[in-house]
Structure 1
Amino acid sequence: MSQKRRYRTHRRYRRKRSKKKNNTTTIILIAIVAVFVISFFGYRRYVQYKNEAQVEMVQQERNDFVKKVAPYAMGLGKQYGVLPSITIAQAILESDWGNSTLASKYNNYFGIKGENPNNTKVLQTKEYTNGQWTTINGRFRVYSDFRESMKDHTKLLVDGTTWNPQQYKQVLQSKNYIDAAVALQTDGYATDPGYTSKIIRIIQKYNLKKYDEGIK
C-alpha cells in the first residue's frame, strides 16, 4: 500500500473516531440535561405536594378545633345568650387555634387574667397602649380543661368585671355577630385596635354564623 493511500485510510479512521466521540459526548450531554430536567420538575412536584399536604393538614386541624369547641359554645349560647360564633372566633383568635402556650399548657383559650397565685400563671403578653405594642408580664387563669375556660369566658361576658358588672352589656344585647364583635371592642375586651375586624373575618371565613341559629 502506498504512503498516500495509508494516509487517506488513517485520516478516514480518525474522522470516524472523532465522529463517534462527538456522538458519545452529545449523548452524555443529552442524558445530563434529561436528568437535570427530570430532577428539577420532580423536585418542584415534591415541593408542591409537600405544601399541599401541609395546607391540608392545617385545615384539618382547624376543622377539628371548631368541631371540638362548637357544641359546647352552642350549649353556653342557649344557656347564657352569648352568640356561639363570637365564642368560637374568640377562642380561635386568642388561643391561635389552641396552639398558644396559654391554651396548650393551661387550657386558657381566651386570655382571661386572674389574681390568685394558686390558679394563675405569669406569662408574657402583648398589649396595645399609647399607639404601640408593648410586651408585659400578665397573670392568667389556669383551667383543668377547655370547657372550664369557655364557661369562664361566657360568665365574664354575662357578669362583667368586678369594677363594672355591666361592662359587656352591649355584647349580650347584640343580635348578630357583627354588632357583637364591634361591642367587644367598644366594651374594652381587648386592646388590639383591629380586634373587631379580626373576629368578623374569622367568623366569615369559617362560616361560624351557622352556629348562631336558634340562639337569639
Structure 2
Amino acid sequence: MAKKKKRRTTKKWYSTKKRQPTEWLVVLLGVLFVLGVGLVLYIQYTGAQTQERLANEAKQEELAKVKKKKEFINQLAPYAQELQQKYHVLSSITLAQAILESDWGKSSLAADYHNYFGIKGDDPDNTKEMTTKEYLNGQWVTTTARFRVYRDYRESMLDHVLLFAHGTSWDHNHYQHVVAATNYTQAAQALKQDGYATDPNYPEKLIELVKTYRLDQFD
C-alpha cells in the first residue's frame, strides 16, 4: 500500500502578525521626520541660491553704475582740461561741480536742458523755470528759479568757466579766488568764500568727490 506523501510547507519569512496602532504611528512619524528634514534642506538650498543670485544681481548693478560714472567723467574731462588751459579753472573742480550739480547728468536740468551746473538766467527765450532747493536762514527751502538752457554739455561747461573767468555783471573779479586757486581744496573753499553756492557743506562735498574719483589727475 503506497504511503501518502506529506505536503511540504515553506515557512513565510515575514510575520503575518498585524501591526499595532502604535507601530503605525512610529512609522508615520519617521516618514514625517524624513520629509521634514528634506524640506528644511530644500529651503536652505533654495534660500542660499536666492541669496547668491541677489548678490550677483547687486554686484552687476553696482558695476554698471561704476561704468556709467567713468563714462561720464571721461566724456567731460578732455574739454575740462581744454578750458583749464585757457581760463585757469581747475579741471577737477569743473568735473566735481558737474557731478554734484547734475547728479552725474541724471537731473532733469542736465538731461533735458544740458545745464550741468545749475546756472541761472533771466532771458525767457533761453531759460526754463524749475524748482530748486536753496539753503536760506539756516534751513533748506524749495523755491523756483529760471535756469539757462544749453545745446550740449560743452556749451554748459564753457558758460560755467566764463562765469569764473569774467565774473558777474556787477563785479568782474567776483570769482578771482577760484581762478587763482592752485589746487582743488583752495578752489572748493574759494567757491564758498565767493558765494557761488548756498550749501554750507559745498566745499566738503566737492573735495570728497575729487578724492573718491581721483579727479585731480586731470588738473
Give the structure-2-normalised TM-score. Answer: 0.89
Q: Does 1:10 align with 2:15?
A: no
Q: Which residue of 2 aligns with 1:26?
A: 33
Paired with 1:84 and 1:148, the residues of 2 have a C-alpha distance of 16
The whole-number CA distance in structure 2 between the counterparts of 1:208 and 1:11 is 82
Q: Secondary structure at the match of 2:145?
A: strand
User: Distance in 1 between the 2:22 and 2:188 partners?
Assistant: 86
CA deviation map 1:25-53 (0-9, x unaligned)? 12211121011101221222122112212
Match of 1:72 in 2: 79
Please report how far the alpha carbon of residue 113 of structure 1 lies from its aligned counterpart in structure 2 after TM superposition.
0.4
The 1-side partners of 2:50 and 2:18 are apart by 49
1:99 paired with 2:106, answer: yes
CA distance in 1, matches of 2:44, 2:19: 39
Which whole-Å CA distance do the structure 1 matches of 2:21 and 2:127 have between them? 92
Deviation at 1:153, TM superposition (A): 0.3
| Letter aligned with residue 182 of structure 1 | Q
Any stretches of 5+ residues in structure 2 without a counterpart?
A: 1-15
Specify the alignment match of 1:46 in structure 2.
53
Corresponding residue pairs, total = 205
Moved over 6 A (4+): none
2:134 aligns with 127
The 2-side partners of 1:50 and 1:92 are apart by 25
Structure 1 SS opposite 2:17? helix
Amino acid at match of 2:158: K
- Whichever residue aligns with residue 74 of structure 2, its letter is K
Residue 182, structure 1, aligned to residue 182, structure 2: no
Cα separation, 1, equivalents of 2:89 and 2:173: 14
Superposed counterparts of 1:127-206, under 5 Å: 127-206=134-213
User: 1: CA distance between counterparts of 2:134 and 2:122?
Assistant: 18
SS at match of 1:10: coil
SS at match of 1:9: coil
What is the TM-score normalised by the length of structure 1? 0.90
Structure having the larger proportion of residues in helix:
1
Instruction: Find the counterpart in structure 2 of residue 111 from structure 1.
Output: 118
Q: Which has the larger radius of gyration?
A: 2
Question: Which segment drifts farther, 38-47 or 53-62?
Answer: 38-47
5+ residue gaps, structure 1, are 1-7
